Structure 1
């Protein structure tokens, strides 16, 4: 009886390539995973022509247990909740932000940014400097839900022509049974042009100066009294001033009608002359480092071949594979198209060549019982005529606009 030998096939299982979200802390790994998951999920959802009231109450939620059994890259257990996904997707579209671009920016580890605010909120900046991620307290989350419908309507009616924060997504992350609320906003400062000075302006003069700790930072956030004492003016010219003040007037009225106050105008100043000087210094430093890295013996051996490398203009061509000094380009007079509504070049009356980046921030404070009590306490302390920051929304808006109009020309 003949026997046949069966040849056994050895099959090796190949694990699918998965996108890893490694960060220096579990919360950020989960945030990146959550952004990737929620944007991909939205790809499978039919977009509506018109948002419905229920869209402003909706959310998507996912719970993950024993994720890949690998705690090195992600926590074993976590939850991700995205609030009003279709609303924020619509807002991103209206602000001209592509979802894939949004996802790619936020699935790389963001970096912490010093925040001068008293709220203790944590601020992070995406790797490409396009987006800020800010932690929220539960009161702010509640306020966001409360104003979201009106905020969306306002953005639509004004064709996104506003200096209000661009809210692009809101999430709740649960890691190790701790809940963290986060909101993503567009960064209104240019990733290309350095900011050399920064002011946070409310139009108030009581306790509105940077403290000693703030001044020690590489880029301190100065306040109203610092702004006035520096003798600073925002030189944009009459046409640009009229345009900016018109937008701020509308935005302030919108916030006032929602009983919101305590917001600021953040002003970032790029000084083109300082930037050119910094560029020249960096170029010299890089050239020196480059020169120092070349071995002297190699130079002597290759001296006889210099003529062969001459490009006809008396300059030696750098071999393609050699390290070359690279420096960022100085300001060439052109502003980033995506930030055109926030960026203004200085007018001819300005003694310096500057670019101003301006936007409203911290708009989620309601004039409720807590603020009324604070107003009463500060009025007793500083007197009825003092320019305290805690006042009624209508009064706050007027003072805010008057201050900016006075120091903008």
Structure 2
């Protein structure tokens, strides 16, 4: 029978391998993005086990999920060891993704396979914008007021189909001009700083000065204007204004011979990818062959006390030109926006 000393000696020679929990890493160059990627992955994985009800209930539009992580297994270079993630109305947004034909697995891959890349945007907004590595989605940080506004309008938005966001992957990689159009004229031209960019965002006065038109023909124009009108009427009912039509115009002729600079530092589009593109081709009678990408953006601005005060200040400043300022009542804003689009689309 082996002695106690002999057994102890054998145990000392034996190498014990400790099995550590496998943790998916979300490497990003700042904690905000790492936590965001972790949160999206966690949320999608949790929702896999939940059946989406046929009819959403009022509580679904007020619900949120919150998870707090205190995990020493995370390498601080990849993720903070202590953080919290809160998701608003997870069932509602899962339902919206289904309605728009967005597969949860593909959605998660777009947002978490590689870190989103920061992109510069025009305007005075303090919001930060990011584009996913596959260029399928743009991410925008929201203020607490904007989150509250989104929460308030979500129940009304859910049964309505707004104009789909343009496919950012295509717009950011093709040869195109980009316009942010509100239908107003005061201070609505690209700044000198904006014009220094490789891909500047032009505005209403630039659009008019360039003599630009969206050449899609009468049947397509009628269909598009019906959609835009329905969307504007919906936003007006919610007392929202200050939204824009983001328009990307791809010149097919130039696109065949040139490569447009990529602001996110990524390569162009691949013809092998089977991706649905939300775009309208120019009519055969157009001066040149083009493809138009469009989306309504910045739809969360409520016409409240701040905007009313801004309107009063601008009215005093610009006097008779006040009708052209962007800050006006939602009804007037919507009518002016649609009038401008009706002139811009031929």
Q: Is TM (by shorter chain) over 0.5?
A: yes
Aligned partner of residue 130 in structure 1, secondary structure:
coil
Specify every segment of 5 or more residues in structure 1 that has no aligned partner in the other structure, as ranges.
156-161, 166-185, 281-325
**Cross-structure match for 1:31:** 36
Aligned match of 1:207 in 187, 190, 194? 187
Query: Aligned partners of 1:113, 1:89: CA distance in 2, in Å?
Result: 27
Unaligned runs of 5+ in 2: 261-266
1:338 aligns with 2:344: no
- Per-residue deviation, 1:349: 2.4
- CA 1:189–1:224 in 2, change beyond 3 Å: closer, same or farther? farther
Aligned 8 A contact 2:183 2:337 in 1:
yes
Partner of 2:332: 395
Equivalent residue number for residue 376 of structure 1:
312
For residue 122 of structure 2, the aligned residue among 116, 122, 132 is: 116
CA distance in 1, matches of 2:86, 2:305: 30
Name 2:263's counterpart in structure 1.
none
Q: 1:327 to 1:50 in 2, by over 3 A?
A: closer
Give the number of aligned pairs: 332
Cα displacement (A) at 1:49? 1.5
CA drift at 1:10 = 4.5
- TM-score, normalising length from structure 1? 0.76
Instruction: Say if 2:35 and 2:83, in contact at 8 Å, map to a contact too.
Output: yes
Offset at residue 375 of structure 1 (A): 1.2
Q: 1:367 aligns with which of 290, 293, 303?
A: 303
Q: Alpha carbon RMSD of aligned pairs, Å? A: 2.4
CA distance in 2, matches of 1:380, 1:134: 33
1:8-407 alignment, distance < 5 Å: 10-68=15-73, 70-107=75-112, 108-155=114-161, 162-163=162-163, 187-188=167-168, 190=170, 194-278=174-258, 338-340=276-278, 343-385=279-321, 386-407=323-344
Distance 2:214 2:64 in 1: 42
Taking structure 2 as the reference length, the TM-score comes to 0.89
- Cα distance in 2, alignment partners of residues 189 and 237 from structure 1: 26
> 1:69/1:228 Cα in 2 relative to 1: closer, same or farther (>3 Å)?
closer
Larger radius of gyration: 1
Displacement of 1:45 in angstroms is 1.8
Q: 1:192 to 1:27 in 2, by over 3 A?
A: closer
Q: Secondary structure at the match of 2:250?
A: strand
SS of the residue aligned with 2:258?
helix
Find the aligned partners of 1:82 and 1:338 in 2 and give their Cα distance.
27
